Amino acid sequence: MAAQKDIRKLDLAALETALQNLGEKPFRAKQIYEWLWTKNAHSFDEMTSLSLPLREKLKEHFVILPVQLAEFQQSTDGTIKNAVRLHDGNVVESVLIPTETRTTACVSSQVGCSLDCRFCATATLTRMRNLTAAEIVDQVALIDHQSRRDFQRPLSNIVFMGMGEPMLNYNSVVEAIEIITTPFPKGLGMSPRRITVSTSGIPKMIEKLADANLGVGLAVSLHAAIEETRNRIMPFTVKFPLSDLLKSMQYWYEITRSRITIEYVVWKEVNDDQQHINALVRFCKKVPTKVNLIQYNSIGDKNFQQASDDAINAYIYALEKQNIVVNVRRSRGEDIDAACGQLANKNQVSNPES
Ligand code: SAH
């Protein structure tokens, strides 16, 4: 017998062909697709609208490779961190962030990360592999379930701000977004406006995502609008000059008309001076943006320390004076290492079989 195929790697058209080859009617493919995606079925036995013989036939030819919840931690502020085990034993983390009115899922796109942001715990992990679209959708489905169970409401927002660089796993990320935003019964029916893709700033991929015009939001982790500083704290950016990044952001706005969020951490003696403030203001005046000043979550490196309130206020003052919207983002889930930049599988959750 030929090796069983991961059924969730097939799109609807491919599934229809596969079913036809098995002597089944194409409408069965739609039913199966609905079980796989809208209902997030993790086994063929759950597909009770299919006959038993068809379920057996599917088991012969296909597998479903769902993720498993390996560990669950809850912060005193309500934030939940899930360690999610993939079928091959790799583990990624996903976070549920509740507010008064919203539940946001922060999902991972890669196992580890290939980038080298000096201030980020995930960067200390080797990039093992990209996640499949199904593994991304499974994280979303898990958090939606937790939100309904613990907060009596469905998941409302998704941010690609977990482990990994979404733009370096472009195809799976786009495929996952398509499944999440496709209306019932083929997809999860979420509005793309409630999804944000966060990137460390890969210009070509920002342009590609703009062209795809999915209706999602874009966030760029800038952290410094002075080249030298950015190159020092995010060394991979040597290959991606700020001028190219800016051009790609302008292109994004031209195509999508959606304002970009700039993510920015202010650190003591790294970027807390007037020169860096002026550079950020100049940058923001060249493309419609709003700035999120993110609180730094220490990863134990002495070179990076949260800047003073005075420095933060100086940023806010300068940006607001130029009518640039600025928000200060407090950390969530810091006590369980669930906050931005802290996802590093610290508890060493591993494959129970290994
Ligand atoms: N690779 C993507 C998404 C993951 S990081 C990106 O870079 O955008 C999500 C956000 O957390 C980014 O803005 C990142 O720069 C920020 N971040 C990383 N480490 C952090 C830390 N220790 N404290 C606060 N924010 C951090």
Nearest atom in ligand 1 to the alpha carbon of residue 342 is: 22
Pocket test for ligand 1, best of 165, 230, 263, 268 (most atoms within 8 A of CB): 263
CA distance 119 to 185: 42
Rounded average pLDDT over 81-89: 97
Q: What's the 297 CA to ligand 1 centre distance in angstroms?
A: 10
Q: Is the pLDDT of residue 199 over 90?
A: yes
In this structure, the residue with its CA closest to atom 12 of ligand 1 is: 221
Nearest atom in ligand 1 to the alpha carbon of residue 220 is: 8
pLDDT of residue 117: 97
CA distance 131 to 110: 5
Q: How many CB atoms lie within 10 A of CB 111?
A: 21
pLDDT of residue 151: 96
Percent of the chain clearing pLDDT 70 (strictly above): 98
Question: What band does 345 get if pLDDT is binned at 50, 70 and 90?
Answer: confident
Question: What band does 353 get if pLDDT is binned at 50, 70 and 90?
Answer: very low
Question: Of the ranges 172-186, 215-229, 320-334, which is most confident?
Answer: 215-229
For ligand 1, which residues put their CB under 6 angstroms from it? Answer: 117, 119-120, 161, 165, 198-200, 221, 263, 265, 294, 296-297, 299, 340-341
Reported as a single tens digit per residue, the pLDDT across 213-269 is 999 999 999 999 999 999 999 999 999 999 999 999 999 999 999 999 999 999 999
Question: What band does 2 get if pLDDT is binned at 50, 70 and 90?
Answer: low
In this structure, the residue with its CA closest to atom 7 of ligand 1 is: 200
Rounded average pLDDT over 77-100: 97
Q: How many CB atoms lie within 10 A of CB 86?
A: 21
pLDDT of residue 350: 63
Q: What's the 67 CA to ligand 1 centre distance in angstroms?
A: 24
AA letter at 58:
L
Q: What's the 126 CA to ligand 1 centre distance in angstroms?
A: 16
CA distance 285 to 298: 30
Nearest atom in ligand 1 to the alpha carbon of residue 297 is: 23
Q: What's the 16 CA to ligand 1 centre distance in angstroms?
A: 40
AA letter at 73:
Q
Reported as a single tens digit per residue, the pLDDT across 27-76 is 999 999 999 999 999 999 999 999 999 999 999 999 999 999 999 999 99
Active centre residues (catalytic): 93, 340
Q: Is the pLDDT of residue 286 over 60?
A: yes
What Rg, from alpha-carbon coordinates, does the chain have? 21
Q: Is the pLDDT of residue 327 over 80?
A: yes
- 352 preceded by a cis bond (ω within 30 of 0): no
Nearest to 200 by CA among 136, 263, 258: 263
The answer to whether 267 and 306 are in contact (CB under 8 A) is yes
Write the secondary structure of the chain as one string of H (helix), E (strand) and C (coil). CCCCEEHHHCCHHHHHHHHHHCCCCHHHHHHHHHHHCCCCCCCHHHCCCCCHHHHHHHHHHEECCCCEEEEEEECCCCCEEEEEECCCCCEEEEEEEECCCCEEEECCCEECCCCCCCCCHHHHCCCCEECCHHHHHHHHHHHHHHHHHHHCCCCCEEEECCCCCHHHHHHHHHHHHHHHHCCCCCCCCCCHHHEEEEECCCHHHHHHHHHHCCCCEEEEECCCCCHHHHHHHCHHHHHCCHHHHHHHHHHHHHHHCCCEEEEECCECCCCCCHHHHHHHHHHHCCCCEEEEEECCCCCCCCCCCECCHHHHHHHHHHHHHCCCEEEEECCCCHHHCCCCCCCCCCCCCCCCCC
Q: How many CB atoms lie within 10 A of CB 282?
A: 11
Nearest atom in ligand 1 to the alpha carbon of residue 165 is: 1
